[in-house]
Amino acid sequence: MELSQEKYHLNTEQYIQQINSINEKSVSILNEFKKLYVIHKMHPENEEYQYQYENIVSNINKISSTLFTTSNDIQLNIDDLNKQLIELNVSIKKEKKINKNLKSQLGMVEHKSNSTNEMINNYKEIYEKYYLNNWSILLSTFLCIYSISIVYKKPVV
């Protein structure tokens, strides 16, 4: 399975262009909306101002719907990519297991013992064994020093 990089790269550029276009349109429309809103509220009976106000509100709604559609398309592409990546991850895990089995079979064919696998698998046990051994030696040393100091303690005069 392969990810089609070209497809998503083209979509990315297309989405960036759409968002930039929406951004440019929205700035001019919002500036005009500010003016018309004030005029419309000051003269609510004037039909020309009311028509312009309704027109600008409809433009804002169009931009909003375009932005929603674009974001929805982006989310769908992200979901699709995530599904493909999950499938790739599963196949990579399968291939790693196959590779591990093949490597161990290769070691058997060549009649060589694979000591590195043993070392990797047993490092924790070896570490714990030596760790406990070191602590027991340290504690026994302190115990011996303490007992010798008690036995050979100077008598109080």
* 8-state DSSP, 107: H
**Helix, strand or coil for residue 3?**
coil
Least confident of 9-23, 49-63, 118-132, 138-152: 118-132
CA of 56: how far to CAs of 25, 32, 126, in Å?
A: 12, 8, 76
What's the confidence (pLDDT) of residue 44?
87
Greater pLDDT, 139 or 125: 139
What's the confidence (pLDDT) of residue 53?
92
Model pLDDT for residues 71-122, shown as the tens digit of each residue: 998 899 889 889 999 999 999 999 999 988 887 777 665 555 556 666 666 7
What's the confidence (pLDDT) of residue 118?
65
**Helix, strand or coil for residue 110?**
coil
Read off the pLDDT band of 58 (50, 70, 90): very high
Indicate whether 132 pLDDT > 80.
yes
CB hemisphere CA count around 42 (13 angstroms): 6
What mean pLDDT value characterizes the chain?
84
Query: What is the mean pLDDT of the segment spanning 48-75?
Result: 92
Q: Residue 19 contacts by C-beta under 8 Å, 6 or more apart in sequence?
A: 67, 70
Indicate whether 30 pLDDT > 80.
yes
39, 49 in Cβ contact below 8 A? yes
What's the confidence (pLDDT) of residue 144?
94
